[in-house]
């Protein structure tokens, strides 16, 4: 059984405690690896290594073109191991293999994208600003922010880590990564690729472990300049509190209960396809999942019938089995949480259209059938709270204004979608949806080139795109006075 290591200061090392905990295959409920249980002393070693590496300037002071060369080596290393890393994610997380391969490919592209951006920024080291006074020259410089502490989730274990690691390295920062204890193996593979690519010691560090034993010490460490967290709202609050204690930068990508507004002029086949993908892709374990669907009344009953048929046809099983579209949930804890949410949905008076239980013939593993509720009370927890599983809630609406009000009636604002054959209507509704990501006539496509983040309790700051790079930079203004001129405030004063 494989035993993972920590990666600190350029060396693979066991945790100082010598402790490990099991990685559980959600398809079988059996352990298949042992994960290093990092603790506060390991976090301290990693942060101090990152601090030394940043302050020494070997990476932070390197020209962006040279950093780009290394980032492209990382991208190539991920592609070389793509299938093997994807299999690790299938066993660790439960997702179907094609989805895992898609995620790992996206992770490689993310390094390529930020390599290009680092190279481009190297040709534009400063922005000159017209100050309206010829005696002064004003420039804006972007400099590496420092040591970043990154805490990442289990639903896209490698990809969510790379969303933080790639821009940080591109900008010249150093980083300590603490992935979720539920899915850590692909992040160890990332450390192996980074080590082979020649990233200097201390620039990238990996400490696996639980939230209380490793995540909290990382959030509290005084030598960390910024905390970057993806996960639940409850944990995000704790990370923000820890950042505020040291007046440190923080970015939070938190939960969602994203709406999908479907008008009755759209193609029903396309609506079924995108609604299904929006909630059942990755087993619904997606922060942006469009789990609240609002359907115009003229299409409502027909669409419910089509969705029931489509959901019941989804192939469920181990992610390693060809043709499977829905794997097991990630863990016993998540399985129990989603089952409890379904039972609460039943009690709320919502109409169960399909699903809600264990699939026939799958007695082991954390499997659930795709679940659809209709006519859901809008005050019910299953309508308002994130479930993070294959559970869809659907309600009707009559007017465009009503749909917008229902869509925005949420404490979250990560994502939203609208579908209509009327382009003007789509643009109108998209402009009024209170979300950081809005899809028109689709749901869930995510591009590295575009910023990602939410409104309201869905988070603070943006990842991906140029915004993700800038989030790893400090902004400095430098104002220069023409030394050939005379200012005269003091020297010209009367004696």
Judged on CB neighbours under 10 Å (0-12, 13-18, 19+), 228 is: buried
Nearest to 261 by CA among 128, 145, 157, 407: 407
258: three-class secondary structure by DSSP: coil
436: left (phi over 0), alpha (psi -120 to 50) or beta: alpha
Beta strand extents in 165-279 (DSSP E only): 174-178, 204-206, 226-230, 249-253, 259-262
For β-strands 351-354 and 292-296, DSSP reports them as unpaired
Question: How many whole angstroms separate alpha carbon 481 and alpha carbon 477?
Answer: 13
Question: How many whole angstroms separate alpha carbon 421 and alpha carbon 225?
Answer: 47
For residue 253, indicate whether it is catalytic: yes
Q: Which among 119, 253, 386, 463 is annotated as catalytic?
A: 253
Q: What is the dihedral of CA 385, 386, 392, 394, to 10 degrees?
A: 30
Q: What angle do CA 289, 294, 296 make, to 5 degrees?
A: 150
* Helix-helix angle 82-93:157-171, to 10 degrees: 130
Residue 359 · residue 367 · CB < 8 Å: yes
Please name the helix (run of DSSP H) or strand (run of DSSP E) that holds residue 48, with its range, or none: helix 40-56
325: left (phi over 0), alpha (psi -120 to 50) or beta: alpha
452: left (phi over 0), alpha (psi -120 to 50) or beta: beta
Q: What angle do CA 396, 401, 402 make, to 5 degrees?
A: 30
Q: Which residues contact 205 (CB under 8 A, 6 or more apart)?
A: 6, 7, 8, 9, 46, 47, 49, 50, 174, 175, 176, 177
Catalytically annotated residues? 253
């Amino acid at each position: 059984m494989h035993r993972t290591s920590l990666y600190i200061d350029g060396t693979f090392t066991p945790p100082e405690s010598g402790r490990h905990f099991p990685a559980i295959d959600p398809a079988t409920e059996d352990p298949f690896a042992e994960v290093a249980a990092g603790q506060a002393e390991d976090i301290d070693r990693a942060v101090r290594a990152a601090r030394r590496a940043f302050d020494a300037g070997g990476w932070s002071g390197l020209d962006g073109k040279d950093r780009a060369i290394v980032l492209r080596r990382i991208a190539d290393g991920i592609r070389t191991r793509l299938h093997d890393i994807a299999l690790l994610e299938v066993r660790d997380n439960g997702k179907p293999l094609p989805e895992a391969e898609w995620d790992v490919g996206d992770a490689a592209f993310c390094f390529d994208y930020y390599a290009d951006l680092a190279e481009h920024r190297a040709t534009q080291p400063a922005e000159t600003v017209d100050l309206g006074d010829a005696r002064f020259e004003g420039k804006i410089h972007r400099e590496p922010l420092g040591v970043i502490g990154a805490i990442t989730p289990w639903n896209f274990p490698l990809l969510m880590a790379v969303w933080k690691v790639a821009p940080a390295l591109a900008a010249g920062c150093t980083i300590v990564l603490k992935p979720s204890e539920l899915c850590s193996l692909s992040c160890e593979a990332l450390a192996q690729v980074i080590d082979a690519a020649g990233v200097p010691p201390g620039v990238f560090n990996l400490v696996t472990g639980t939230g209380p034993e490793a995540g909290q010490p990382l959030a509290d460490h005084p030598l960390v300049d910024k905390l970057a967290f993806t996960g639940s709202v409850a944990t995000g609050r704790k990370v923000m509190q820890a950042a505020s204690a040291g007046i440190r930068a923080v970015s939070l990508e938190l939960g969602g209960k994203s709406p999908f507004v479907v008008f009755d002029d759209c193609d029903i086949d396309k609506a079924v396809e995108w609604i299904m993908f929006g909630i059942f892709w990755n087993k619904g374990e997606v922060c942006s999942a469009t789990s609240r669907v609002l359907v115009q009344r003229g299409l409502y009953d027909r669409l419910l019938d089509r969705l029931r048929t489509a959901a019941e046809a989804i192939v469920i099983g181990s992610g390693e089995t060809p043709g499977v579209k829905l794997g097991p949930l990630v863990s016993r804890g998540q399985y129990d949480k989603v089952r409890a949410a379904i039972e609460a949905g039943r009690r709320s008076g919502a109409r169960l259209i399909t699903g809600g239980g264990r699939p026939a013939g799958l007695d082991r593993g954390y499997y659930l059938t795709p679940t659809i509720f209709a006519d859901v009370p809008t005050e019910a927890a299953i309508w308002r709270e994130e479930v993070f599983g294959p559970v869809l809630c659907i309600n009707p609406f009559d007017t465009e204004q009503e749909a917008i009000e229902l869509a925005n009636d949420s404490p979250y604002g990560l994502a939203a979608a609208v579908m209509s054959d009327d382009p003007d209507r789509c643009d109108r509704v998209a402009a009024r949806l209170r979300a950081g990501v809005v899809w028109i006539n689709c749901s869930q496509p995510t591009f590295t080139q575009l910023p990602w983040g939410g409104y309201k309790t869905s988070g603070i700051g943006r990842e991906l795109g140029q915004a993700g790079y800038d989030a790893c930079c400090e902004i400095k203004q430098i104002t220069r006075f023409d030394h050939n001129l005379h200012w005269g405030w003091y020297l010209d004063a009367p004696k």
